[in-house]
Amino acid sequence: MAVNSPNSPRQKMINLMYLVFIAMLALNVSAEVLDGFELMEDSLANSSDISLQRNLLIMHELASYNEQNPEKAGSWYRKSLEVHQMSDSLFRYIETLKLKMVRRADGNKADLGHIRHKDDLNAASEVMLSPVSGEGKRLRSAVDSFRHTLSQLVTDENRKKIINSGLSTQPSSARGKQYRNWEQSLFEQMPVAAAVSLLTKLQSDVRSAEGETLAHLLNSVDVSDFRVNQINAYVIPESNIVIQGGTYKARIVLSAEDSTRHPNIFVNGNVLDPESNGIFSAVAGSIGSHSIQGYVELPRADGSVLRRDFSNSYTVIEPTATVAPTLMNVLYAGIDNEISISVPGVAPQDIGAAMTNGSLVRKGNMWSAKPSGVGQNAVISITARIGDQVRQLAKKEFRVRALPDPTPYIEYTDANGNPAMFKGGAIAKGVLMNADGIRAAIDDGILNIPFRVLSFRTVFFDAMGNAIPEVSNGNRFSDRQKEQFRRLSRGKYFYISGVRAVGPDGIEREISVIEVRVN
């Protein structure tokens, strides 16, 4: 058997084939590694979606500020729209590059979500690094332009560093080689699965840089670290009128508050205790007008101090109370009379009242007074809780009267379909025939109190002038009375008398007569 010489052509050919075989083994990426790129792709895509949702929330907040105050927030909102549009455009362009790579590896029917030839080493290089149609240089230019625009909009150096680092297009030497440019370092001899993952990471970096820029634009809406365009100091008193012996309280604030920083407040030459949370209080001593004045100081972030002056006044009055019936200056026995009771400077729930010759009950912000008997006046006494004390403020005496007699009437419906009352005089026969009976009520524009009719009688006259009475036990016309109505001719008249009625006071009484003439 012949032995090959180390330098023979045959041995050289064997050595060369061995080197090629070793190189092929080195380039043969395992299936597990390629599947790992697919998992990484899904994770990066999810991260990009989360960044997009966060960015849209910031855009929504900027849009709200723009609606509320377009003069203040309009320019920042327009810049945010520009940033979002640029980000979307670059994101979509990168998505088309991913699809081109997968189609180059799997054909025109390729599915970006299910790459068949994940280990293809030529697709990424052909799409991105081809001397004639390679997209790498164009992508690098688009990323550089996007990064430069964002850097011009962001003045915060920390945010600017994050943006420049995330969108850097400097060549990488991570694979132990020195490359001429950024696109070559990413896509030269790169399996298509890894190249797609790198582009997805770039999309995530684009969304992240967009978010940093939008957050900076949102913060820029503020003026001098305050999210308002005017800063003023105000005194907000609980009441400008204080009862003698009570306490005047007021809250002194800036029109824009920052819960993390507390201003220095000076009132009438004295500094307000920081523990008071801006609440100033003073004992109301002498009666009359009293003024408070001072200023508020708040340090700015740049070391300067914002100062705003304020002034206000309050009035101290003697304890007073007002008691007024809603109907008239009397109370009617046996019924609920609405009463309004108020004390200036005192909340309704801190007011108390009591009554002689009857009962007094609170009903919401009103009171209901019910005298028990006629002939004795009723006295209403008013108290109020002022601070920790209950003070007697005033007394009011009322005359107590019985309810006046009600007026009887026939209820009917007019030509417009509205209810009407006939209290005497001429009435159409058709209206009379359709009426059910009579009612009674006090309805004089002040009182409006219904009574219950117990009985009444009608008195008709025959041709000889003889009276023909007909009695009804209740408030409805009897059949005999209805028959008498049918016999009445035009111009005839009759009387409704002996009307007995009882009101809400429980007193039964006989009330006035109604004269009825058929029209």
SS3 string of 260-282?
Answer: CCCCEEEECCEECCHHHCCEEEE
418 beta partners: none
More confident residue, 90 or 261: 90
- For 121-151, write each residue's pLDDT tens digit: 888 888 989 888 889 899 999 999 999 999 9
Closest CA to 453 of 396, 411, 390, 516: 411
Extract the tokens encoding 387.
Answer: 């601070």
List the domain boundaries for the chain. 19-219, 233-317, 322-401, 407-518
Question: pLDDT tens-digit profile of 415-434?
Answer: 888 888 999 999 999 999 99
Q: Which residue has the tokens 């009825």?
A: 516
CA distance 142 to 93: 9
Query: Which of 385-392's residues contact partners 24+ apart within 8 Å by CB, and which partners?
Result: 385/346, 385/350, 385/352, 386/243, 386/245, 386/246, 386/319, 386/346, 386/350, 387/245, 387/246, 387/247, 389/245, 390/352, 391/245, 391/319
Enter the pTM of the model: 0.42
Maximum mean pLDDT: which of 296-300, 341-345, 378-382? 378-382
pLDDT band for position 274 (50/70/90)? confident
Q: What pLDDT sits at residue 432?
A: 92
pLDDT band, residue 12 (cuts 50/70/90): low
Residues 6+ apart with CB under 8 A from 233: 252, 253, 254, 255, 295, 296, 308, 309, 310
What is the structure's pLDDT at 225? 45
The arrangement of secondary structure in 233-317, i.e. its CATH architecture, is: Sandwich (2.60)
- CA dist 408 and 411 (Å) reads 10
| Helix intervals (H) in 220-333 | none
User: What is the C-alpha to C-alpha distance for residues 334 and 347, in angstroms, rounded to an integer?
Assistant: 30
Residue pair 454/502 in contact by the 8 Å Cβ criterion: yes
Element (H, E) at 380: strand 378-386
Q: Could you give the percent of the chain with pLDDT greater than 90?
A: 39
- In CATH terms, 322-401 corresponds, of 2.60.40.1080, 1.10.600.10, 1.10.10.10, 4.10.520.10, to 2.60.40.1080
Query: 322-401: same fold as 233-317?
Result: yes
- What is the C-alpha to C-alpha distance for residues 402 and 331, in angstroms, rounded to an integer? 9
Q: Which residues pair with 270 in a beta bridge?
A: 267
State the average pLDDT over residues 451-459.
Answer: 96
pLDDT confidence bin for 197, thresholds 50/70/90:
confident
What percentage of the chain exceeds 70 in pLDDT?
83
Q: Return phi, psi of residue 289, to 5°.
A: -95, 140
> Which is it for strands 493-502 and 508-510: parallel, antiparallel or unpaired?
antiparallel
Which helix (H) or strand (E) is 478 found in, with range? none
Q: What is the pLDDT of residue 175?
A: 57
- E-strand stretches of 444-483: 448-461, 467-472
Q: Quick: pLDDT tens for 59-94.
A: 999 999 889 888 888 899 999 999 999 999 999 999
Q: Are 200 and 119 in contact (CB under 8 A)?
A: no
> Is the pLDDT score of 4 beyond 50?
no
Which of 435, 512, 442, 426 shows the shortest CA–CA distance to 475?
A: 435
Would you say 501 and 466 are in contact if contact means Cβ atoms under 8 Å apart? Answer: no
Quick one: pLDDT at residue 37?
59
CA distance 233 to 384: 33
- Give yes or no for a contact between 284 and 242, defined as CB atoms under 8 angstroms apart: yes
Query: Which run of H or of E encompasses 342?
Result: strand 337-342
**Residue scoring higher pLDDT (257 or 395):** 395
* 447 within 8 A of 327, measured Cβ to Cβ: yes
- pLDDT band at 24; cut points 50, 70, 90: very low
- Distance, in Å, from the CA atom of 274 to the CA atom of 278, rounded to the nearest integer, reads 7
How many whole angstroms from its chain centre is CA 150?
A: 35
pLDDT at 252: 81
Instruction: Residue 218: name the closest of 47, 49, 51, 83 by CA.
Output: 83
**Residue 489 in this model has a pLDDT that exceeds 80:** yes
Q: How far is CA 65 from CA 68, 76, 87, in A?
A: 5, 10, 22
Six token digits for residue 28: 């043969």
Token pair for 487 = 């016999």
Token pair listed for 321: 């109370």
The β-bridge partners of 472 are 456
